[in-house]
Amino acid sequence: DGAERAVRVGVWDNPPIVFRDAAGRHAGIAIDVLEQIARAEGWELVYEHAPWGELLERMERGEIDLLTGIGYSAERAGRFVFTGESLIGNWGVVYKGRGLPIASPLDLANRRVAFMRNAIHSDAFADLLRRFQVRFTALYTDSYEDALKAVATGAADAAVVNRVFGTMHAHRYAVDITGIVFNPVYVHYAGHAGTAGLVARIDGHLARLKAQPDSPYYASLERWLTEHEVRAPTWLPAAIAGGALALTLVGGGAWLLRMQVQRRTRELALRSNELEAAIEQRREAQERLKHFALYDALTGLPNRASFLERFPVFVAEPERQKSRAAVLFIDIDHLKTVNESLGHAAGDELIRAVAERLRACLRANDSIFRFGGDEFLVAANQIHSIGDAEAVASRLLRSLKQPVDIAGRPVYASASIGIAVYPDDETTVEGLLKCADAAMYHAKEHGRNRYQLYRSGLIDAVVERLDIDTRLRQALERAELTLHYQPIVALADGRVIGTEALIRWNDPEHGLMRPDVFIPHAERSGAIVPVGAWVLSEACRQAIAWHQDSPEPLSVSVNVSARQFQEPNFVGTVEQALVDSGLPPSRLQLEITEGLLLVVNINVADTLHALKRLGVRLSIDDFGTGYSSLAYLKQLPIDVLKIDRSFVAGIPERMDDAQIATTIITMAHGLGLRVVAEGIETERQVHFLREHGCDYGQGYFIARPLPEKEIARWFPKDHHWRAAQN
């Protein structure tokens, strides 16, 4: 498509947009820009010069690949594939024979009007006259030039041309401009359905050229539009002078008449200038509106509306070549955290930086759109296999690996990507977006910073998730939530030091549900905030009961989700739970995940320090699965590290797991932290961890998480767990 063969370009005479000059060369704004693009793409342009109507027919038959300087209309968009970007705005103007009293469309009643055949303005104006019920005789020509000639020679009373042509050339003919302007249109390049790929490439170049103020596009506009600046008709001074002389000779009222003629001439000139200025302002306003409607103000990227508009072009090539295209729905992870912690200006900066990183790693034919908020979409249409789409996604994820500098601070950005493939997954724009969106949610729920290909069932999962959120909020009101507690023991002597509170949902429909099923949904929807507050107050209430009954002071660990932690009043919620229950703060341990530390360092540290001031203990859950740096951990008021159960599972057989676990223990002790190993399932694990100095342990080997009543029965009388007990 273009890259493999010469491009046959239909050219016609519509100067200065496109025309053939006296030496037979093709020239004009559309040609300058196209030749620039052809050089960049290595295309050979083969010009086919013909009258406009003939070119349209030849393009319909596929005999030419591209038409230059074609005005956009909805009807034409149904027949041809247009570039999304326009070359120039244009509108229709009516010129009249000298001295004829034609100032409005109604004045054309019973007159002869010259129209260029198949021109967009001709059809629009003829239609307008018919709607005004003006009876006129139409005279069709093959070019705008012939239409003006017809007026100049008296064959027609008026002619319809476009304003750029009229401004540049009408002065050559004995014609007069009227105040009749109509039908603003935008001039584009267009091809037939089989050249969609070619048109898309031109579109990409044109967008880039228009975005650079010093590009050859603007040089061409300047060259063609200012070299031939708007000139007063050459015949006008002579006509006025001649008319004035004649009038002087006529005697009596000649002077008065001449003054009137001059005044009228000035008025007309003024009106014409005002009209031009008003039209220009309107055109600029329309361009601006169009830009606002189709581009995102923050990143400058085309927006969702733009994608919807370009979708037919996007899928035309894969449709024709029986190949594939992919849409990649991208959602920045944790943007809310940045907004809430560093402010919305920082959030905006992050969005801009991410947009730039993503844009910079796209292939030549891929396009990126900002869909709003933290969402972007990449449209990739040279996808030969699913692997190609995955490669694009991997590149996008890799581009975000390095931290982004936001106001002098390094902020780690990542994204979750959902991929839907055309035509495998869906063929409609709505269907593809829905699939990609569902896949993106799946990626987000399965750990973020990853991509997911759409597969059937994912949309159902989204629906189910929405359903879960509604039911979860009701569950809170209906007291369907409950806590199970898993004991934590000191590995050296088996002393029970506390429990971890783990939420369960007693759903009347599905029975007892584990948190893995609903916590991620609750995180996304925000339901985790009230649910988490309930967990805190319930766990504190329970812990104070044990605290009062037991000879040993027992602590309770509560999991805090990232979303909950980032709530502006999170510290207040914790304080409230402590005050309401009367639990000493040192008996409450909050578990945050290592991943949270990576999001926005500064605010996490502030919140941790505020919690520490309350007196609660702080623990890093699932340690070893993230990338938090030791140096950074040292600055935080952390008390405990929990070795992730994935490492504990491999102990002692797997060398690498054993090594990681021992390194974490040594490192944590070096920092003055205590270590809990979670997920202990065997006696060998207990021995190994004890031998390597791990302080505490938790796992099915010791006890499973148990409901409130059962845990009370489980607690050994002397508060010391022994393996034999299990």
Task: State the residues that interact with ligand LFPHGCPZ by CB under 6 A.
Answer: 486, 500, 502-503, 514-516, 519, 532, 535, 559, 561, 621-622, 645, 678-681, 699-700, 705
Q: What angle do CA 98, 101, 106 make, to 5 degrees?
A: 130
Tell me how far, at minimum, the Cβ of 501 lies from ligand LFPHGCPZ, in Å.
6
Q: What is the DSSP letter of 551?
A: S
Q: Please identify, using beta-carbon distances, which residue of 119 and 702 lies nearer to ligand LFPHGCPZ.
A: 702
Strands (E), 535-657: 555-559, 588-593, 617-623, 640-643
Q: Please identify, using beta-carbon distances, which residue of 462 and 556 lies nearer to ligand LFPHGCPZ.
A: 556
Contacts 24+ apart (CB under 8 A), 26-31: 28/68, 28/69, 28/224, 29/87, 29/88, 29/220, 29/221, 29/224, 29/225, 30/68, 30/69, 30/87, 30/187, 30/189, 31/68
Tell me how far, at minimum, the Cβ of 342 lies from ligand LFPHGCPZ, in Å.
24
Tell me how far, at minimum, the Cβ of 418 lies from ligand LFPHGCPZ, in Å.
23
Alpha-carbon span 188 to 176, nearest angstrom? 29
Q: What angle do CA 192, 162, 280 make, to 5 degrees?
A: 110
Q: How far apart are the first and last CA of the chain?
A: 72
Q: Please identify, using beta-carbon distances, which residue of 258 and 471 lies nearer to ligand LFPHGCPZ.
A: 471
Q: Please identify, using beta-carbon distances, which residue of 341 and 559 lies nearer to ligand LFPHGCPZ.
A: 559
C-alpha Rg value of the chain to the nearest Å: 37
Amino acid found at 56: L
Tell me how far, at minimum, the Cβ of 548 lies from ligand LFPHGCPZ, in Å.
23
Tell me how far, at minimum, the Cβ of 646 lies from ligand LFPHGCPZ, in Å.
9
Amino acid found at 505: W
Tell me how far, at minimum, the Cβ of 539 lies from ligand LFPHGCPZ, in Å.
8
Q: Please identify, using beta-carbon distances, which residue of 431 and 515 lies nearer to ligand LFPHGCPZ.
A: 515
Q: Please identify, using beta-carbon distances, which residue of 389 and 503 lies nearer to ligand LFPHGCPZ.
A: 503
Tell me how far, at minimum, the Cβ of 465 lies from ligand LFPHGCPZ, in Å.
16
- Residue 411 has phi, psi (to 5 degrees) of -120, 130
Amino acid found at 481: L
Contact 683, 460 (CB under 8 A): no
Q: Please identify, using beta-carbon distances, which residue of 296 and 567 lies nearer to ligand LFPHGCPZ.
A: 567
Tell me how far, at minimum, the Cβ of 621 lies from ligand LFPHGCPZ, in Å.
5
The tokens describing 356, both together, are 């730039």
Alpha-carbon span 679 to 698, nearest angstrom? 6
Q: What is the DSSP letter of 43?
A: P
Strands 481-490 and 66-71: unpaired
Tell me how far, at minimum, the Cβ of 350 lies from ligand LFPHGCPZ, in Å.
25
Q: Please identify, using beta-carbon distances, which residue of 163 and 484 lies nearer to ligand LFPHGCPZ.
A: 484
Q: Please identify, using beta-carbon distances, which residue of 272 and 625 lies nearer to ligand LFPHGCPZ.
A: 625
DSSP-assigned states of every residue in 339-381: HHHH-HHHHHHHHHHHHHHHHHTS-TT-EEEEEETTEEEEEEE
